[in-house]
Structure 1
Amino acid sequence: MCWAPVDPSTTTDSTTDTTTETSTDSSTTGPGLCGNAAVDPGETCDDGEDCGAGVCNSDEYTGEKHCNAACNGLYPGWCGDQSVQAPEACDEGEGTQTCDADCTPVECGDGVLNAAAGETCDDGSDNSDAYDDMPDQLACNTACTGKAPHCGDGVCQESNEDTTCADCTCGDDIVSAPETCDEGMATPTCDADCTAVECGDGQHNPAAGESCDDGNMVDNDGCRNNCTTCGNGIPQMGEECDDGNAIDDDACSNDCVEPRLVFVTSAKFDGNLGGLAGADMKCGTAGMTADPDLPATAWRAWLSDDSGSPSTRFDTAFSGWYQLVDGTPIAKGWSDLTDGNLLAAIDLTETGAASGSPKNAWSNTTTAGATAGAHHCENWTSLEFDNNLKGHFGATSATNSDWTHLGDALLNPTYCNITFHLYCFQTSL
């Protein structure tokens, strides 16, 4: 702009402020002086006549702040004066969330960058969402939120990019050449290196059922040609045992898991067991006879009260065999133990002898290993003969659900001064 105030001493005396007056009277400036782009005596501004730049002495709206045609004041309206006049659609003094700095509504693609409205770029009609393989000449995207898709934007464009672009990596869940699969991790169908599962490729993939993968075809080394190790007679990492045979319910299962022992105590106890902890100690003491090599802490009583149950106190992930002390299989794993049927009754004591009468064991436990109810002799601390204090029990001769919760409502529960056995389970090695 060339307009500027002049020294008052050079102007004529007037009581009227002409700085915003719109007039075509240029008599105070002398012939031909208004419009020469110089503020002459009597003028308060003079922009010249270059309307091509959008600025000139004019009594018309140009959008720019400019001098009027008489050079004696500003034209009273311009974009940015916070007053809307035609042809402005809005005027908030600067770019805002709803109005651009050129006094038009915010619109991505109008070529006006408006950071207040969330735009980071705006190339007008050149905005594009097409993939651009020339990062030095990237266009703005059609949302005005960043550059058009390209290598280096942090997103793998699977239709345009492969692993030569750092945006595409194995594990991003996008199949990019030369990957044959990509599921973000090792899965039953895809290895961690984004190749299809194949035993012998050197990619150990437990999710695909591989116990090992040494990448060779030597069948009698540490990893067999079917990518398994259990059954080769050599206990390895992750195996509790390996007897090299296909007998599942012997001293080592076909999954190379050692069996865990189960017995019913030869001793009988009233309802005052000292709580679950006291019952566990009784099982631990008897367990030293069942297997002297195990610590007393390896045993738990199959017993429930308000504080816990086998489902919360046992190793429910165990998948090996539960066996009596003579090797008789009872169930395979926790799921089989809790399905309502046993392969054999838990009727042998820690010594391997048959349990004595009565052939019952304190339990208060459902088939699923959960607490059966509130009949637990006051959390197994009472031996009182009291109708309000009773305990649930199971039958040691049963293989159906009666083994843990006898289904005779007339007998079960019974008084806490009665003496019954305890079921004891090995829960750790």
Structure 2
Amino acid sequence: MCWAPVEPSTTTDSTTDTTTETSTETSTTGPGLCGNAVVDPGETCDDGEDCGDGVCNSDEYTGEKHCNATCNGLYPGWCGDHSVQAPEACDDGEETPTCNADCTSVECGDGILNPSAGETCDDGVDNSDAYDDTPDQLACNTACTGTAPHCGDGVCQESHEDTTCADCTCGDGIVSAPETCDDAMATPTCDADCTPVECGDGHHNPAAGESCDDGNTIDDDACRNDCTTCGNGILQAGEECDDGNVIDEDACSNECIKPRLVFVTGAKFDGNLGGLTGADMKCGTAGMAADPNLPAAAWRAWLSDDTGSPSTRFDTAFSGWYLLVDGTPIAKGWSDLTDGTLAAAINLTENGAAPGLPKNTWSNTTAAGATASTEHCDNWTTTEFDPKGRIGDATATNTNWTDLNDADNNPFTCSAGLHLYCFQHTP
């Protein structure tokens, strides 16, 4: 019975020793501890063996800074170390305009947002330039500079949007329903409210020649039914005059256009007029008596040759009255002057007197104001007997006034002294 107690005592000592040895082995550094994600004595690093987050003990490139497989140092290469190694395309140490933070080259559509490269978005393969009217699902555009076009982006997409979208407004220069025009301002064809120009629509459009537009059909109020204010006695834009009356043939027509004077020169000239320019100067000199307030350049001779004619040298857009110096109406506007019939003969000189005999004028001009023939005294530069020059009759109101229908006397010798018709060319 004495040995029995000894044996347990021996067993107890042995167990205690074993426990001590096991504890010592557990705390001793060795190869088996590299990979437990704990930097044990003798190790310089230990990222563990789980590579799920891209970081683990490895002797291979992972893109991240990590411990090597033996836990005695870092693997020498990673994205951000300023050294390019496969599979890196670049490595600037950080995001730059040419290199992404993951060491790939910058490319719109790679799904990596790179603000330093000017990208404001990048949805990768979902980038699109297609119109999308659901703002909560907007894709990045294919330039990575913003979202795909949509209502609310500040740009009117004419093919998709109308004025129900706040981006489309009258004046943006884009025709969007229900607009019928949009010139971004009032123009000769489009009102400022993006409707076609129409006198009487209540939209005053000076660009279209409207002096006013009161939107009514009352013709004798401040704004007439043709959108003019002529006749109210107030000179306004587009009016040469406004005498406040409805007398058409006086000093101001019912269209508020000043009349222009016409006379036949009191002096007579041979066929050497100095060309059309010389004839104009002769009219300018005589015109000082007809109206001293007009410059000499305001007058044109009714004369044609190879270099020009009234149809090419006169104000053919004029629509006011041509009057003799005593106020007698001759014709209203160019169209009436050239229709073959005058209201009265041009038979008064610049001084209001009757011209001397013969009452004929140098002309070579048709009733339409065009060159009549080649019979123009060698372009009005000669007094020779031949060639000759065609003439008009200052007593006539039919086409004879400009081209006398008399084969015996028309054309006439260039040595003869005849009158000139002179027309006021400018207001």
Is the structural similarity TM-score above 0.5?
Answer: yes
Amino acid in the other structure paired with 2:324: L
Higher helix share: 2
Q: Indicate how the Cα distance of structure 1 residues 402 and 198 shifts in structure 2: closer, same or farther if over 3 A, else same.
A: closer
CA contact (8 A) 1:158 1:176 kept: no
How many angstroms does 1:224 deviate by?
Answer: 3.6
Q: Does 1:395 align with 2:396?
A: no
Aligned residue for 1:331, secondary structure, equals strand
Match in the other structure for 2:3:
none
Q: How many residues align?
A: 306
Match in the other structure for 1:42:
none
Match in the other structure for 2:421:
423
> Matched residues, percent identical?
65
CA contact (8 A) 1:263 1:348 kept: yes
Counterparts of 2:257 and 2:210, CA distance in 1: 17
Match in the other structure for 1:157:
158
Counterparts of 1:291 and 1:135, CA distance in 2: 77
Counterparts of 2:254 and 2:131, CA distance in 1: 57
Counterparts of 2:410 and 2:349, CA distance in 1: 23
- Unpaired runs of 5+ in structure 1? 1-122, 142-146
CA contact (8 A) 1:284 1:295 kept: yes
How many angstroms does 1:384 deviate by?
Answer: 0.8
Counterparts of 2:381 and 2:292, CA distance in 1: 29
Q: Indicate how the Cα distance of structure 1 residues 167 and 392 shifts in structure 2: closer, same or farther if over 3 A, else same.
A: same
CA contact (8 A) 1:135 1:150 kept: no
Moved more, 161-170 or 416-425: 161-170
Q: Indicate how the Cα distance of structure 1 residues 273 and 135 shifts in structure 2: closer, same or farther if over 3 A, else same.
A: farther
CA contact (8 A) 2:126 2:140 kept: no
How many angstroms does 1:265 deviate by?
Answer: 0.8
TM-score of the aligned structures, taking structure 1 as reference length: 0.60
Match in the other structure for 1:174:
175
Deviations 1:389-421 (A, max 9, x none): 111111112222221122334432221112211
Aligned residue for 1:293, secondary structure, equals coil
How many angstroms does 1:155 deviate by?
Answer: 5.9
Counterparts of 1:244 and 1:407, CA distance in 2: 43
CA contact (8 A) 1:170 1:182 kept: no
Counterparts of 2:192 and 2:316, CA distance in 1: 29
Deviations 1:10-48 (A, max 9, x none): xxxxxxxxxxxxxxxxxxxxxxxxxxxxxxxxxxxxxxx
How many angstroms does 1:187 deviate by?
Answer: 6.7
1:69-148 to 2 correspondences below 5 Å: 132-134=133-135, 137-138=138-139
Amino acid in the other structure paired with 1:384: E
Deviations 1:360-415 (A, max 9, x none): 110112222222232111111100112xx111111112222221122334432221
How many angstroms does 1:336 deviate by?
Answer: 1.6
Counterparts of 1:254 and 1:282, CA distance in 2: 32
Match in the other structure for 2:275:
275
Counterparts of 1:135 and 1:416, CA distance in 2: 90
Match in the other structure for 2:284:
284
Amino acid in the other structure paired with 1:417: S
Counterparts of 1:413 and 1:372, CA distance in 2: 11
Q: Indicate how the Cα distance of structure 1 residues 215 and 399 shifts in structure 2: closer, same or farther if over 3 A, else same.
A: closer
Larger radius of gyration: 2
How many angstroms does 1:167 deviate by?
Answer: 5.6
